[in-house]
Amino acid sequence: MWRVPWTLVARAARGPRRWGYPGKGPCTRQGSGSSVPRSGSTIFALSSGQGRCGIAVIRTSGPASGHALRSLTAPRDLPPARCACLRLLRDPCSGEPLDRALVLWFPGPQSFTAEDCAEFHVHGGPAVVSGVLQALGRVPGLRPAEAGEFTRRAFAHGKLSLTEVEGLADLIHAETEAQRRQALRQLDGELGHLCRGWAETLTKALAHVEAYIDFGEDDNLEEGVLERADSQVQELEVALGTHLRDARRGQRLRSGAHVVVAGPPNAGKSSLVNLLSRKPVSIVSSEPGTTRDVLETPVDLAGFPALLSDTAGLREGIGPVEQEGVRRARKRLEQADLILAVLDASDLASPSSCNFLDMVVSPAGAESPNGNRQRLLLVLNKSDLLPPGDPDPRLDLPPHLLLSCLTGEGLDSLLEALRKELAAVCGDPSTGPPLLTRARHQHHLQCCLDALGHYKQAKDVSLAAEALRVARGHLAHLAGGGGTEEILDIIFQDFCVGK
C-alpha cells in the first residue's frame, strides 16, 4: 500500500486546511429519479384488506385528489387538512348516494406520498367498496393504482429511503412479534441511518485522499492526511465486518429459523411438533416408526418465526422405507439452525436413546470447522411417566429440560429456553444494532468491504481514491440512492395494491 512520504508530512506540518468536506453523503433520503411515477396521474385503491369488514379505507394520491374528494362528497368543499369529517358520498355522474363516510384531506407535501392525498373511510361491505371505487374511476384523471404504487411514489418523492420501504413491506407481512419489531426499526430508518454514517466516514476519507492528490506538493497541506484516511477506512472495515458476520441472523428473522425436532422412535417428537404448532400437523401413535417423511410447518415460536420440521425416529436395522426416512432426517439435521432433541425420559437406557445421545447430542456442542456451533436443546419428554419424588432421572446428561407433552408440564420453561436460543439464532431486534434483513443488503456491504480491500492494495493514490468511490457507491445502492429500475421493481412487488 502507498504511504505518505515523510518529507511531505514534515513540509505539510503547518498551515490551515484548505479543503472542505462535501456536506452530504450519497445516502440522503432522496428517491431515485428513475422511479418517478407516470407524472400527472392520480391513483386510487382500496388500502385496507379485501373482504367484508367494519371499515374499509380507500385512498387516492396525485394532483386530482382534491377534485375527486369534491366530486364525491356533499357538501363539496374540501375538509380542513388532516381532519376527519363525516360526509355523504355520492356517485359523481348519477348523484346516487353510496355511503355516509369519514373523509380526510392530506394536501402535499405533508402526506404519505408527498402528493395531494385523500382518504375515504367507508363501511366495509363489498357493494359499498366497489361502488366508491367505480365512482372514483369515473372522475377524470384518476386510474386504479398498481401494486406498491403508493409506496413507490413516497420513495420517489424522498419520503422513504429504500431500506425504509423494505421495512414497510416487512411490517405489512410481519407475522411474529420479533419480525414486527425488526420491521419497525428498519422503517424508522435505523439501517439507513447507519449506512449514512458509514457513507459520511467514506466521504471524509475520500476528501482526505483527494486533498492529497490536489495539494500533495503544496506547503499548506495538513500533516498526516493520508494516515487519517487510512484509519477511517480501517474503522469502517471493522464496522462492516461486524455487521456482515451478523448478516444471516437478520435474514433468518425475516424468513424463519430452521428448527428440527429429532430423536429416537416414539420419543414424542410428533407430539411435541403438534403441541408447539397448536395443530395436528403429524400423526401420533404408539407404534415406533410412525413418521417417515420430513414434515414442515411454519410456527411462531416464543415470538420468533420458525420453520418447524418433524422427522423420522433415528434407529438402525429397519426396512427400506423407514431407512429412507432416517436418511432424510439426518440430512435435515445438517441444515438445522436449532435442533430440538427429544428423548423419552422413562427410556434413557435403551440402545436407541444412548445411540442418539452419542451421535447427535454430544457432537452438537462442539465447534464445526467453519466456526459455527450448531445449537441444540435437549428435551426429556414423558416426564409424567417418571416415579414421583424422582424428578430428574439423569443428572449426568448434558443440560436438559423436562417436559410432558401429555400434561403440558414444562412447556413454559421450554418456550422460554426456545426464546433465548432463537434470539441467539435470529438476533434480538429489541437490542443491538439493526440487522441486515435481505441478501441485497449483504451483497452491497460485502462489495463495499471488497472495495476497501482494493483501497489498501492500491499502487497509487488515484486508484485508491477510485476504490473509495466504488465503496461509497455500494453504500448508496443499499439505501436506494443509485437504485436501478429492476431492483426497485422487485422490492415494490412485495407490496399489495393500495400500499
The contact set with ligand GTP (CB under 6 A) reads 263, 265-271, 284-286, 288-291, 313, 381-382, 384-385, 404-406
Instruction: State which residue, 255 or 355, has the beta carbon closest to ligand GTP.
Output: 355
- Among 71, 176, 203, 270, which residue interacts with Mg ion (rule: CB under 5 A)? 270
Instruction: State which residue, 404 or 437, has the beta carbon closest to K ion.
Output: 404
Residue 41 near residue 104, CB atoms below 8 Å:
no
Residue showing the smallest CB distance to K ion in the complex: 290
Residue 180 near residue 172, CB atoms below 8 Å:
no
Instruction: State which residue, 102 or 281, has the beta carbon closest to K ion.
Output: 281
- Tell the smallest beta-carbon distance from residue 195 to ligand GTP (Å): 47
- Tell the smallest beta-carbon distance from residue 275 to ligand GTP (Å): 9
Q: Which stretch binds Mg ion (CB under 5 A): 33-41, 161-169, 269-277, 440-448?
A: 269-277
Instruction: State which residue, 261 or 488, has the beta carbon closest to ligand GTP.
Output: 261
- Tell the smallest beta-carbon distance from residue 334 to ligand GTP (Å): 19
Write the binding mask 246 to 285 for K ion: x where contact by CB under 5 A, - elsewhere: --------------------x------------------x
Cα 420 from Cα 414, distance rounded (Å): 10
- Tell the smallest beta-carbon distance from residue 343 to ligand GTP (Å): 10
Using CB under 5 A as the binding rule, whether residue 111 contacts K ion is answered as: no
Q: What share of the chain is helix, strand, coil (3-state, %, to 5)?
A: 45, 15, 40
Instruction: State which residue, 286 or 370, has the beta carbon closest to ligand GTP.
Output: 286
Using CB under 5 A as the binding rule, whether residue 404 contacts K ion is answered as: no
- Tell the smallest beta-carbon distance from residue 310 to Mg ion (Å): 6
334: which 3 cell numbers? 445438517
Q: Which run of H or E residues covers position 403?
A: none
364: which 3 cell numbers? 452438537
Residue type, 435: L
Q: Which of 60, 143, 51, 134 is nearest to 99 (CA)?
A: 134
- Tell the smallest beta-carbon distance from residue 312 to Mg ion (Å): 7
CA-based radius of gyration for the chain:
30
Cα 66 from Cα 444, distance rounded (Å): 41
Identify any residues that bridge with 44 across adjacent strands, giving them in sequence order. 60, 144
Instruction: State which residue, 407 or 457, has the beta carbon closest to ligand GTP.
Output: 407
- Tell the smallest beta-carbon distance from residue 404 to ligand GTP (Å): 4
- Tell the smallest beta-carbon distance from residue 425 to ligand GTP (Å): 23
Instruction: State which residue, 26 or 265, has the beta carbon closest to ligand GTP.
Output: 265
Segment 275-334, which members bind Mg ion (CB under 5 A)?
Answer: 290-291
Instruction: State which residue, 13 or 385, has the beta carbon closest to ligand GTP.
Output: 385
- Among 290, 309, 383, 442, which residue interacts with K ion (rule: CB under 5 A)? 290
Instruction: State which residue, 64 or 405, has the beta carbon closest to ligand GTP.
Output: 405
Binding site for Mg ion (CB under 5 A): 269-270, 290-291
Binding site for K ion (CB under 5 A): 266, 285, 290
